[in-house]
Amino acid sequence: MLTVGSLFSGIGGLDLGLERAGMVVRWQVEIDPACIRVLERHWPKVRRYGDIREINPAELEPVDLLCGGFPCQDVSVAGKRAGLAGRQSSLYWEFHRIASGLAPRWLVIENVPGLLSSQKGRDFWIILDSLVELGYGVAWRILDAQYFGLAQRRKRVFVVGHLGEPWSAPAKVLFEPESLPWYPPPRRKAGKAVASLLASGAGTNRPAGIASEVDFLGAEVAPTLTWGGTGARGWKVSAEQAADGALVAHPITTRADQRQEPTSDTYVIQDVRGHMEKRQHGIGIDDADVCYTLDATSRHGIAHVFPTLRGFGHGWQGQHWDDAVRAMMVRRLTPLEYERLQGFPDGWTAGESDTARYRMLGNAVAVPVAEWIGRRIIQVHEWLWGR
């Protein structure tokens, strides 16, 4: 089996995916204390190292594959775009230094698509050129997690490198003679994937049916959304709320024990606070069947919209549904839902604070995507070198 050394391990998204593909993780490098605790729980026998800047490659066990997603803050289009010269993303050169010292047969790098345009493309060219100078043939591709079985739109660029000849090996990993089974995107009924995710159980603050008032929200609250018309983007946040960051919840007008729950529509919300944190697109609300890309700072949420009893609160007028009178529940996604949207087993980050779990999962690599790449590498490696 191919052996793996993991840099910038996080909570082990790449590691878990490559393991599921049939590889063995030999060591991990991670500096964040919360991430380290998660790694220790799931890989108790794997050796771990802390600050990557203090590692001597000569002291590391040789491995067949070196992987890592170096920090993206300085190359993301949501950041200040300092590029590889930035304090965080310049850590790529630590990946390069260790790759140079170990000379593994394979490399896998993950990052945000903004890497391709950082400094008008110069940063990505520098990365590719630096790997070629080490003797690697390289290929890259943007892969979206929603086409690998996850209810999340998550585009990430993956770079695969192979040391020496044939230089075409990375291309054989990332590209196939025909399109991937997941491309083009299959036609799906809007809302089904997200609704299925929620219905399967996602933590104690998910309502089992319609909750009374807003008790299901627990400590989480969300902006009041007002009806602004029909269609996918009918729900909107008032300008006043967006400006002052008001955090209030739309009241539930009926109780679960007074009726059976009617069919509800599910809307995904990029940030329930109504903040315009991301310059490239800001808040988003949609009835698509996948959630917005998870990250470490936004508070992604779900809105359930459903018909209410006619005349509720003004005397009982019989059990008649009135689609013109609609109520809504808005809540933040739970850490468990974040785990499922990234392809991790339930409870992968349990034991850490919710704040830490949201941050770690928002930064993680989608596990099924890493597994697909791992399986392709194994296939190509066996074709090249035999078992």
Q: How many CB atoms lie within 10 A of CB 226?
A: 13
80 φ, ψ (degrees, to nearest 5):
-90, 0
How many angstroms separate the CA atoms of 375 and 378, rounded? Answer: 5
Give the SS3 label for residue 73: coil
How many angstroms separate the CA atoms of 136 and 170, rounded? Answer: 9
Residue 193 C-beta-side C-alpha neighbours within 13 Å: 22
Average pLDDT, the chain: 73
User: Is residue 101 a contact partner of residue 5, using CB atoms and an 8 Å limit?
Assistant: no
Q: What's the pLDDT at 139?
A: 95
Instruction: List C-alpha distances in Å: 155 to 110, 113, 141, 249, 295.
Output: 11, 7, 10, 31, 12
Q: What's the pLDDT at 209?
A: 30
Q: What's the pLDDT at 353?
A: 95
Q: What's the pLDDT at 308?
A: 53
Q: What's the pLDDT at 75?
A: 54
Q: What's the pLDDT at 82?
A: 58
Q: Could you give the residue numbers annotated as active site?
A: 72
Give the SS3 label for residue 344: coil
Cis omega (within 30 of 0) on the bond before 104? no
- For the chain, what percent of residues have pLDDT higher than 90? 43
Per-residue pLDDT of the chain (387 residues; tens, 9 = 90+): 999 999 999 999 999 999 999 999 999 999 999 999 999 999 999 999 999 999 999 999 999 999 998 876 655 545 555 566 655 667 888 999 999 999 999 999 998 888 888 777 788 888 899 999 999 999 999 999 989 989 888 999 999 999 998 889 999 999 976 544 444 454 444 445 554 444 343 322 222 232 222 222 222 333 333 333 333 333 333 333 333 333 222 322 233 333 344 445 677 888 777 655 454 455 677 766 788 889 888 888 887 776 654 444 444 444 444 444 556 677 788 899 899 999 999 999 999 999 999 999 999 999 999 999 999 999 999 988 775
Q: What's the pLDDT at 311?
A: 41
- Taking only Cα atoms into account, the Rg of the chain, rounded to an integer number of angstroms, comes to 23
User: Is residue 242 a contact partner of residue 272, using CB atoms and an 8 Å limit?
Assistant: no
> Which residue in 302, 278, 298 sits closest to 288, CA to CA?
302
- For the chain, what percent of residues have pLDDT higher than 70? 63
Structure tokens at 164: 């020496």
How many angstroms separate the CA atoms of 277 and 197, rounded? Answer: 26
Q: What's the pLDDT at 268?
A: 81
Q: Which domains does the chain carry? A: 3-183+341-385 (3.40.50.150), 204-333 (no CATH)
Contacts of 179 (CB under 8 A, 6+ apart): none
Stated as kind and residue range, the H or E segment containing 109 is strand 106-111
Q: What's the pLDDT at 117?
A: 80
52 φ, ψ (degrees, to nearest 5):
-60, -25
